[in-house]
Amino acid sequence: MAVVLSHDVLNRAIGAVLGGAVGDALGAGYEFGPPVNPASVTMRPGTLTLAPAGHWTDDTAMAIAILESAATLGTLSTVEATSRVGERFVEWYRSSPSDVGVHTRTVLERAERGQSITDAANEVQALNPTSAGNGSLMRTGPVALAHLGDREALVSTARAMSSLTHPSELCAEACVLWTLAIDHAIRTGELIGPRLGLDALPEERRAQWSTLLDEAERLPTVSFTPNGYVVTALQAAWSAIYATREQDTPFEAALRLAVSIGDDTDTVAAIAGSLVGAWCGGTVIPRSWRQGLAGWPHVYRDVDLMRLAMQAAMGNLEDDSWSQIVSWYDI
């Protein structure tokens, strides 16, 4: 069923997807490097992937698996949708990606051998109960699109998408907070951030997360490194957005600041890009950053992400809607 969205809401829905991909590609050129001057951050070849400038990494590849199911099924809350996402994760892993997190790799190796991905994730988590990496938060950008405004569905879906590889409660909570923040930004154009999702967490967890968000808003952004831990990654991304929210070009400023922290730069910038893109909209993304986008699946470019984002948010995609987007983005 097609959903009628205003042009502004649709632009912000696209921004959540494009913003994450651009952040990922921008950060790929600085991955696991030292802090740098934000003003010097530019698109350049991947330091680990060795891919050309503008190519996304595992962050966006796994987000695309979620986005495709949201676009084709119109939901992420069914068993079929969850299964399709898991299957697509395995297909991506079989393409021999050059940059995969250790936890995710361990889960997908088991799934590739035929084990249920959820069983594999639970077993890997049981072997290392304190593991709580940023590997599910990095792909949260598209989760809100199929269920805009449906808080109950958003919370359960964010948890389900996380648990495919990262069943840690901390990971699930981070994904809930970020998904609800993206949903609100898309629907209203307001940047409130992850704090608005605190009441969706178990009551005993809210104070801890509130304190963590206080730190992100108070401390210098460069404080949040190393940032492979899901909590520090969320703090780093929110700190970058919060610190630049009043600048003239907050999208560019937030991503440059996110990358400048160093360490897991592609992931922090992908996380930040999904929320700041949902707030600012896709049309603010510099054309020079957007047009070089590429990655797995290797036929995909920026226009493919736009189409999928539109379809996920709207349902059936009408030709006249796409014609409008072509003119907005100068495709």
Could you tell me how many helices (H) and strands (E) the chain has, helices first? 14, 0
- For residue 229, the cross-strand partners are 133
**What local confidence, expressed as pLDDT, does residue 99 receive?**
83
Whether 128 and 225 have beta carbons less than 8 Å apart is answered as no
**What local confidence, expressed as pLDDT, does residue 331 receive?**
65
Whether 43 and 26 have beta carbons less than 8 Å apart is answered as yes
Query: Helix (H, G, I), strand (E, B), or coil: what is residue 294?
Result: strand
Q: Flag whether the pTM goes above 0.85.
A: yes
**What local confidence, expressed as pLDDT, does residue 318 receive?**
58
Q: Which domains does the chain have, with CATH numbers?
A: 7-329 (1.10.4080.10)
Identify which of 108, 155, 101, 93 has the alpha carbon closest to the alpha carbon of residue 133. 101
Question: CA 80, 82, 87, 89: dihedral to nearest 10 degrees?
Answer: 160
**Neighbouring residues of 73: CB distance < 8 A, sequence distance ≥ 6:** 80, 81, 84, 146
Per-residue pLDDT of the chain (331 residues), as tens digits, is 566 788 999 999 999 999 999 999 999 999 999 999 999 999 999 999 999 999 999 999 999 999 999 999 999 999 999 999 999 999 999 999 988 989 999 999 999 999 999 999 999 999 999 999 999 999 999 999 999 999 999 999 999 999 999 999 999 999 999 999 999 999 999 999 999 999 999 999 999 999 999 999 999 999 999 999 999 999 999 999 999 999 999 999 999 999 999 999 999 999 999 999 999 999 999 999 998 999 999 999 999 999 999 999 988 665 566 667 767 777 6
**What local confidence, expressed as pLDDT, does residue 319 receive?**
56
Residue 137 tokens, joined: 């938060």
To the nearest 10 degrees (0 to 180), the angle between helices 230-244 and 169-188 is 20
Q: Cis ω on the peptide bond leading into residue 52 (within 30° of 0)?
A: no
**What local confidence, expressed as pLDDT, does residue 58 receive?**
96
Work out the burial of residue 280: count CB atoms within 10 Å of its CB; fewer than 13 is exposed, 13-18 middle, 19 or more buried: buried
Place of tokens 């968000």: 213
Residue 187 tokens, joined: 């629907």
Rounded Cα distance, 89 and 199, in Å: 31
